[in-house]
Structure 1
Amino acid sequence: MSDPGQPEPLERSEYEVRNGRMDRRRERIYQQIQRDRAGGHKVPTWVLAAILVLMLAGWGYLIFVA
């Protein structure tokens, strides 16, 4: 039994629940994009790209030469 001073909890439809989830997810993604655009990265992208190229070249060298 509920307390007479407390309002009854509102029931939400499945559509409202899904819509709320989508809105929260959209907001999280928007905030993440804004943080990424602001910069402040510790390692520049070109350094990460150079490391990736060196790793792939080393891996290719090991496969074809060794």
Structure 2
Amino acid sequence: MNTSEPADRERGDTERLNWIDRRRAKIRDEVARNRRGEYTVPTWVLTVALVVIVAGWLALILLVG
């Protein structure tokens, strides 16, 4: 056993590489879906847009009227 790192670190490095590989694959798959036109807008973005539109109309009605 002339290694400079303990066996636990080797497993940790392997897990880290696997995590990185999984993360890269997930990002790669998402980019491929977006290029095919299968992207979706998150629900919270739609909610914020709806609130802004409704608040704008209410402000317009109350300030002008």
Normalised by the length of structure 2, the TM-score is: 0.49
**Of Structure 1 and Structure 2, which has the larger fraction of its residues in helix?**
2
